[in-house]
Amino acid sequence: MRVDKFLSSVNILKRRSIAQDMCDEGVVSINNKKVKSSKEVRVGDIIRLHYLEYTKIYEVLALPTTKTIPKSQSSQYFREIFE
């Protein structure tokens, strides 16, 4: 699954277009490498979102099979890591 699609499907970001823009600007990295929006996400990957004042880190636990999932089920697909 593409990283932009994953971020919007599991409700980390609201829209896929926002995820694509963030990838284009170099805000998104997977396993410490900046990625394009077409980069494939795999279970176990570490996704970092580098905002201006902080960084959010997520571990991919599973890949969704549907386009969107309910927010109540988001915890099955990713885990936020606090450093």
CATH number at residue 42: 3.10.290.10
Return per-residue pLDDT of the chain as tens, 83 residues.
Answer: 999 999 999 999 999 999 999 999 999 999 999 999 999 999 999 999 999 999 999 999 999 988 888 989 988 999 999 87
Residue 68 is predicted with a pLDDT of 83
Question: By residue range, what is the domain housing residue 60?
Answer: 3-81
Residue corresponding to tokens 């089920």? 73
Residue 31 is predicted with a pLDDT of 95
Regarding pTM above 0.85, the answer is yes
Residue 53 is predicted with a pLDDT of 93
Measured distance between the N- and C-terminal CA atoms of the chain, rounded to whole angstroms: 26
Distance of CA 70 to CAs 43, 53, 75, Å? 20, 29, 10
Residue 67 is predicted with a pLDDT of 84
Distance of CA 81 to CAs 52, 66, 67, Å? 18, 24, 24
Sign of the torsion formed by the C-alpha atoms of 45, 63, 74 and 4? positive
Number of domains in the chain: 1
